[in-house]
């Protein structure tokens, strides 16, 4: 059995031993070795049994003794100790030849010394040299036979026993790994590898075994993550982190799983958002939300984001509260700018004791707006209405009738004037395009809203009374949107006691101390908007709404729908105007007029369903 070529150190010792042996001649006799039965050499703790090392039978006589001695010296110098032609078997045989017995005994001792040194070097290499352990075993098998009584050999063999025990534990650990018994809770492969390392801390095989066990636990974590069982994945990672002091692979796996988890959650959020416009999209999106809640970490904001988008879809379609938008018209141009009014609750009507209120504004009733709606930010302007008329050839009521009610500067009264229609201002003169359109009837306003619906494919309409008052109050429960008493500066175009007409007239019933700098309607959007971002709801011009007139709210709808009776001739007007008394500027104020009425104080705005 051939050994690894001896190292420089071993070869030097072997040469020195050979020279010493060659000069011994018939030196002093060494005591003969104790007779010993050759045992079976067993690697400690292993089922792999090595045959007992037995020296080959070598016949020695006077004709070959010196030749064999020279051969043994040469093998000793070359570091070949236990092979059939190695130093140890030859010197053992030469001991039986009396003329060179002393030299042979010395050769045996030096062969044992060289073999022990060579085996120790091999033992130090077993973690880096795949063949080193076999060389150790071969040397140990011989040393057990020829030198078991030497303390240094005994210590070496004890080291070999520990190595063999470690190998056995590593083999048991590898077998446990192969059958899936990693031992994360104690025992198993991890337990065996740790027992091996307790015997020898540098055991590379056991270290590799622990790394393999760690990898197996990481794979279990990754498999759990692939099934979206992230709590289980974290549990496996925690087990893996306890396997070795250097748990960089665990940290990398945790980061990788976290990244993939976040990507999965993001994909679910995107799928939920994409589903919202589809038929039954909200139900589908809620399924994605439930999925996210099942797999997302507790502090992950993605679920809250999708829940918010679903809530918006429930209440606002694809919009968000306060969002401004326009829709394109088929013939070119855009709709009036719309703003999304949030859903919510309010009490409609005037409470008992409100100054200036009438029975027409009672009984009050709580209303819940399940869904938001979009309302035009301002009243519809002359320019916007002009596009409708020119596009459709529609003839408004004042045009067909040839007159409307305008304001007379000389008398300070409102009077019928011929040749006044929607193209004119409150005095009957040509109106600028940015003024609110007036001299239009409720039917004209409805026709404009229907044209927008036809042009855009969305449901444009006049607001209901409930929607108008809800938007005007914008959460306020007081008589006026701003609270009580005189409006704050810039709140709107109202009847202010400090206002004056072009001829110097003032109002007999007005807000004390208020000055808005206008007499007659002003261009839309000039004054500060309300809480919902809407301009001029309570002033500038009063506005047509979709409801038929009823003398009270008894039997009125319990939601935001318009209260409509087929064929009704009177429609509701809401909101104060530039010429309304303070009591008519209250949030609850309402009036009923013939649907064909046109005058210089009434315009309209539109809403759009979301």
Beta bridge partners of 603: 543
Backbone φ, ψ for residue 42 (5° rounding):
-120, 130
Q: Residue 95's CB: how many other CB atoms inside 10 A?
A: 19
Radius of gyration of the chain (CA): 52
Pairwise CA distance, residues 451 & 455, whole Å: 6
Q: Read off the DSSP letter of residue 55.
A: P
Q: Which structure tokens are listed for 116?
A: 């022990």
Tell me what pLDDT residue 537 has.
97
CA dist 357 → 227, 259, 352, 586, 589 (Å): 66, 63, 8, 9, 7
Query: Which pLDDT score is estimated for 8?
Result: 41
Residue 593 tokens read as 């007029």
Give the fold, CATH level 3, of 338-344+371-376+385-424+435-518+538-609.
3.90.1580
Residues of the chain with pLDDT below 70 are 1-51
Tokens of 313: 């879809």
The pLDDT assigned to 542 comes to 98
**Partners of 607 in the β-ladder:** 375, 461
* Per-residue confidence (pLDDT) for residue 34, from 0 to 100: 36
Cα–Cα distance, 139 to 332 (Å, whole number): 99
Contact at 8 Å (CB) between 140 and 119?
yes
Phi, psi of 404 (to 5 degrees): -155, 180
Q: Report the SS3 class of residue 282.
A: helix
> In terms of Cα–Cα distance, which of 533, 521, 530 is closest to 493?
521
How much is the pLDDT for 312?
85
Q: In the structure encoding, which two tokens stand for residue 309, read together?
A: 């988008």
In angstroms, how far is CA 9 from the centroid of its own chain? 63
| Cα 93 from chain centroid (whole Å) | 80
Q: Identify the pLDDT of residue 36.
A: 34
With H, G, I as helix, E, B as strand and everything else as coil, classify residue 276. Answer: coil
Q: CA-to-CA distance for 291 and 273, rounded, in angstroms?
A: 14
Protein fold of 167-246:
1.25.40
With left for phi above 0 and alpha for psi between -120 and 50, is residue 10 left, alpha or beta? alpha
**Residue ranges per structural domain of the chain:** 8-149, 167-246, 259-316, 338-344+371-376+385-424+435-518+538-609
The two structure tokens encoding residue 549: 């007139």
């Amino acid at each position: 059995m051939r050994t690894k070529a001896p190292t420089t150190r071993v070869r030097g010792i072997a040469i020195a031993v050979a020279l010493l042996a060659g000069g011994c001649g018939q030196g002093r006799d060494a005591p003969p070795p104790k007779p010993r039965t050759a045992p079976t050499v067993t690697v400690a703790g292993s089922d792999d049994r090595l045959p007992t090392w037995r020296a080959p039978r070598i016949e020695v006589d006077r004709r070959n003794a010196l030749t064999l001695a020279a051969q043994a010296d040469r093998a000793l110098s070359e570091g070949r100790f236990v092979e059939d032609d190695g130093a140890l078997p030859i010197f053992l045989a030469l001991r039986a030849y009396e003329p060179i017995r002393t030299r042979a005994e010395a050769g045996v001792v030096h062969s044992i010394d060289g073999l022990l040194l060579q085996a120790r070097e091999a033992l130090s290499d077993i973690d880096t040299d795949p063949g080193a352990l076999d060389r150790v075993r071969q040397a140990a098998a011989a040393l057990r036979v020829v030198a078991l009584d030497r303390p240094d050999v005994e210590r070496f063999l004890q080291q070999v026993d520990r190595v063999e025990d470690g190998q056995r534990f590593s083999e048991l650990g590898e077998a446990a790994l192969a059958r899936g018994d990693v031992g994360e809770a104690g025992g198993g492969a991890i337990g065996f590898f740790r027992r091996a390392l307790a015997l020898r801390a540098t055991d590379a095989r056991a270290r590799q075994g622990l790394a393999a066990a760690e990898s197996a636990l990481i794979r279990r974590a990754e498999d759990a993550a692939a099934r979206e069982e992230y709590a289980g994945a974290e549990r496996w990672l925690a087990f893996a982190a306890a396997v070795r002091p250097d748990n960089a692979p665990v940290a990398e796996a945790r980061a990788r799983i976290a990244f993939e988890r976040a990507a999965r959650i993001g994909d679910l959020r995107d799928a939920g958002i994409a589903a919202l416009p589809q038929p039954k999209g909200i139900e589908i999106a809620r399924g994605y939300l439930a999925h996210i809640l099942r797999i997302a970490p507790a502090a992950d904001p993605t679920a809250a984001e999708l829940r918010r988008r679903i809530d918006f879809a429930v209440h606002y379609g694809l919009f968000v509260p306060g969002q401004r938008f326009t829709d394109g018209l088929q013939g070119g141009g855009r709709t009036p700018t719309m703003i999304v009014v949030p859903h919510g609750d309010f009490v409609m009507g005037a409470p008992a004791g409100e100054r200036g209120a009438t029975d027409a504004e009672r009984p009050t009733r709580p209303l819940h707006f399940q869904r938001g709606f979009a309302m035009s930010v301002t009243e519809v302007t002359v320019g916007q209405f002009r596009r409708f008329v020119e596009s459709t050839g529609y003839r408004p009521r004042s045009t067909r009738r040839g007159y409307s009610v305008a304001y007379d500067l000389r008398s300070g009264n409102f009077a019928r004037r011929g040749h006044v229609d929607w193209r004119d201002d409150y005095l009957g003169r040509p109106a600028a395009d940015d003024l609110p359109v007036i001299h239009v009837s409720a039917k004209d306003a409805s026709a404009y809203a229907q044209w927008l619906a036809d042009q855009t494919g969305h449901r444009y309409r006049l607001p209901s009374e409930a929607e108008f008052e809800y938007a005007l109050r914008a959460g306020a429960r007081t008589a006026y949107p701003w609270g009580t008493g005189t409006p704050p500066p810039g709140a709107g175009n109202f009847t202010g006691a400090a206002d004056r007409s072009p001829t110097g007239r003032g109002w007999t019933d007005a807000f004390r101390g208020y000055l808005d700098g206008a007499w007659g309607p002003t261009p839309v959007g000039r004054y500060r908007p309300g809480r919902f971002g809407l301009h001029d709801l309570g002033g500038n011009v009063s506005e047509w709404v979709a409801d038929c007139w009823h003398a009270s709210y008894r039997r009125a709808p319990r939601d935001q729908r318009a209260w409509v009776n087929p064929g009704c001739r009177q429609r509701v007007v809401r909101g104060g105007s530039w010429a309304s008394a303070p009591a008519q500027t209250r949030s609850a104020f309402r009036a009923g007029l013939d649907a064909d009425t046109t005058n210089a104080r009434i315009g309209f705005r539109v809403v759009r369903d979301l």
